[in-house]
Structure 1
Amino acid sequence: MKHCYVLGMLCLVLASCKKEAQPELTEHQHNSAVAAIHTESTQLLTEGLETGSKGAYASASVTLGSGSWTLDEALIGNSAADVKSGSQSARIRNTGSLSMNFNITAGDSTTIKIDHAKYGSDASSTWQLWISTNGGTSYTQVGSTITTSSSTLQTATFQVTNTGNIRLSVRKISGGTNRINIDNISVSTGTGGGTNPGGGTAGDDSHLLLGNPNGAVANITSPNNYLMDQTYYTIAYNRDRGTPNWVSWHIQSSDIGSTPRTNDFRADSALPSGWYQVQNSSYSGSGFDRGHNCPSGDRTSSTAANSSTFLMTNMIPQAPNNNQQTWEGLESYTRSLVSAGNEVYVIAGSYGTGGTGSNGGVTNTINNGNVTVPSNVWKIIVVLPNGNNDISRITSTTRVIAINTPNTNTINSDWKTYRTSVNSIETATGYSFFASIPATIRTALKQNVDNQ
């Protein structure tokens, strides 16, 4: 995770290129480095409108992926005329609004991004962003009034100087019965400061550079979407399932070395006090492998890097043939892309309940119900030639590989069989990917199915 950046800050060692290998960090260096990385950008909220349903304009609250929102003169639209990056977006008419019923905690230099477009063939409308700092008692407008005149998603960006608890309200203020679509609401906070010896934008090589798909937070009040920085990858852990919702990481040539596989599967002692810790032996006799999300083979630059991948918070119960054949093939192919002069951003996860392992029959849970067996395992890979300023280099033709496999032992060994679109994975999971990528590019990337 940006070792050149970290060592450049902490040790002032030579870092002439962001892609070169660096020695391991001391514990003090690591702790300081993590703090420095976190000051760049922390995702507070990501709402892609992919979960929840509301088919009428009458005011009502609906539970979305990030929490409860009130939609007044607004609904969740999924028709062909609704402009959206996944399968749904909010549709607002008259002087309707879309408002949070919960708080998020803003910090220095908070950035809010909202995608918007005209619905169908409707004429232009205008809208505003308002925020409340007192739990919804009163609101203040943020930034300027936005005109929605395009039939494709555009991104409006707002800067907030308030710190502490805030909640958002998107308010349509003109255009009468003309409707607008709102999608992909994201809130991030951080100073964006620090030094980047490689010359790229702040955040290059960060595991969450492309976004936080479901707004995971490092707060024990969110036990089933708990953000954990594992240094060599980042996860959104689900306490009740005993597995991660997703794991996100970056791979470059310096991550691939000659360190042998450590095989030190172990419980993750960094979980909050009182949470059940899945053990090394928890999958024994279940008929399922301890399936890595971030693979051991992607972290062979050092013993510490490889060992980190054997934490049980990085594992799911994976059908042996799914793990050892289909996914091994995709993982090896991904590393071959890195060897060929590319860097890749990867996010992998699972969803659903019920898989079929080597014991036969569908199994819903193992380890006395402490670990849920997923029905599906998915992965998204964004491929870039080595370079800097990664976000700015992503275009509508950037290669994106997305696959979604059943968690069964009768799976086809060829991963290419299971290629799909990012939109399809969003529909299945309710997540919203690529929040950091401009709207027009993001829309194109999500709908493509890789065929290389």
Structure 2
Amino acid sequence: MKPIKLLFVLTTIIVFASCRKESLVTPASTVNQASDKKATTESTTTLSESFESGTKAAYAVGSVTLSSGSWSLDEALIGNTSADVKNGAKSVRTRNNGQLTMNFDATGGAETITIQHAVYGNDGSSTWQLWISTDGGSSYTQAGNTVTSSTSTLQAATFTVNVTGSYRLSIRKVSGGSNRINFDDIQVVTGGGTNPGGPGTGGTTGDDSHLLLGNPTGAQASVVLTQNYLRNATYYISSYNSVRGTPNWVSWHIASGDLGSAPRQDDFRADAALPSSWYQVGSSSYSSSGFDRGHNCPSADRTSTVAANSSTFLMSNMIPQAPQNNQQTWNNMEQYIRSLVTAGNEVYVIMGSYGTGGNGSKGNANTIDGGRVTVPSNVWKVVVVIPNGSNDLSRINAATRVIAVNTPNINTIGTDWKSYRTSVDAIESAAGVDLLSALPANIQSALESKVDNL
């Protein structure tokens, strides 16, 4: 194994870190490394609502079906005008004493609730409150303090609560009269501990969990880890780098139960579950850049439910990817991986990017979005393929098929992904990650040194 190396990346807070293998990184791809052990207390999203899928054009009370379920909107509508402040195409617009209330019970509990809010157009300030019910809507209790909306830029209001089991939310405008407020991107998170797995369930330990093979950079869900923040999006887990505005890597499991008939949602949006003090990469951040909003965890890998598919459109799952690279080379590989699943296998996938500078449809660029999103020079993926079964870790041996691919992020790339196959060792050296670390050392060494040729 390689020697330990410590990386220090915070300017005001020093995070001491250790890792099983040496990380060879360039400055552009350096990340905090806090621990090589798999975390067991990451957050789980129990509710996510972006308001992209519903339509309600009038303020009169009525219910609207959204991706998360049915909501009642009173003195509120789904706004899609240029004056509506929003991530994506739509947000809720309220006036007077408007309310938006869940008509259904969400399950899984709630610890942190984040809601994006802003003043509509040129309206004046208003205040609003969050209320929670744990008895099916029979009674509600206010959560936290009253919030003031005073700016026409989306702001994140975060409420810390302690709810177990089922719950309903009600957002209530309480002052400001005819002044209007936009609400968008509601995210409810709870500390999930371990998760037994299963199609689309995520988790960090146990069969089918997204981090079964290890945490490549020792990411943790700590706000101080600005370049190595562990983000559990339920249907995949990632290390997010707020300095680059992209994930360092995303890890997920695919089984036949993950591949269904849910339609592609196309609800690109900022990730409201990230720390509110960080810059929010939005749905339009890549506009006119010459680069695609390239998924790490693909939309087509998560078609079991609308919620599963919608989760892949969080901008924290995107990188600026050259169109040819995204739409041809990587799309061809993604289709091939899904064909392995439908043929009777399950796969563990880890995808990431590193370096600075790519070539899109408008030429070379190091950054986009006014310098706030870094364009990677390379995009990589590692896939571990095993037949359907249980006790997955124990079934991985030196003969297990591992596919490792590393492509330049350029628009003149060839469409045959197989010509970019490499070894896991080579990706680790280039990207500064420690892959397959949960495997026994002898098996890890054998798998990481070979190049797939099937």
TM-score, normalized by length of structure 1? 0.59
1:226-265 correspondence runs (5 A): 226-265=229-268
Counterpart residue type for residue 215 of structure 1: G
Among all aligned residue pairs of Structure 1 and Structure 2, give the percentage whose two residues are the same amino acid: 61
Confirm or deny: 8 A CA contact 2:16 2:34 kept in the other structure: no
1:312-391 correspondence runs (5 A): 312-360=315-363, 362-391=364-393
**Counterpart for residue 308 of structure 1:** 311
TM-aligned CA deviation for residue 67 of structure 1? 6.0
Change (3 A) 1:397 1:260: same
**Counterpart for residue 427 of structure 2:** 425
Question: Do residues 214 (structure 1) and 217 (structure 2) align?
Answer: yes
SS of residue in 2 equivalent to 1:450: coil
Question: Do residues 401 (structure 1) and 403 (structure 2) align?
Answer: yes
Greater shift after overlay, 330-339 or 268-277?
268-277
SS of residue in 1 equivalent to 2:287: coil
SS of residue in 2 equivalent to 1:403: strand
Distance 2:23 2:280 in 1: 36
Question: Do residues 204 (structure 1) and 207 (structure 2) align?
Answer: yes
TM-aligned CA deviation for residue 230 of structure 1? 0.1
**Counterpart for residue 449 of structure 1:** 451
Distance 1:376 1:103 in 2: 24
Change (3 A) 1:327 1:196: closer
Q: After superposition, what is the alpha-carbon deviation per residue over 1:107-161, rounded to whole angstroms, capped at 9, x for unaligned?
A: 9999xxxxxxxxxxxxxxxxxxxxxxxxxxxxxxxxxxxxxxxxxxxxxxxxxxx
**Counterpart for residue 275 of structure 2:** 272
Change (3 A) 1:354 1:104: closer
Distance 1:420 1:281 in 2: 34
Confirm or deny: 8 A CA contact 2:295 2:312 kept in the other structure: yes
TM-aligned CA deviation for residue 63 of structure 1? 3.9
TM-aligned CA deviation for residue 85 of structure 1? 7.4
**Counterpart for residue 292 of structure 2:** 289
**Counterpart for residue 299 of structure 1:** 302
**Counterpart for residue 102 of structure 2:** none
TM-aligned CA deviation for residue 354 of structure 1? 0.1
Ranges of 4+ aligned residues in structure 1 off by more than 2 Å: 47-50, 62-70, 84-88, 102-110, 190-198
Counterpart residue type for residue 268 of structure 1: D
Distance 1:106 1:287 in 2: 39
TM-aligned CA deviation for residue 87 of structure 1? 8.7
SS of residue in 1 equivalent to 2:325: helix
SS of residue in 2 equivalent to 1:347: strand
Confirm or deny: 8 A CA contact 2:348 2:383 kept in the other structure: yes
Distance 1:107 1:394 in 2: 18
Confirm or deny: 8 A CA contact 1:403 1:418 kept in the other structure: yes
Q: After superposition, what is the alpha-carbon deviation per residue over 1:241-285, rounded to whole angstroms, capped at 9, x for unaligned?
A: 000000000000000011111111011111112111001000000
**Counterpart for residue 225 of structure 1:** 228
Distance 2:385 2:448 in 1: 14
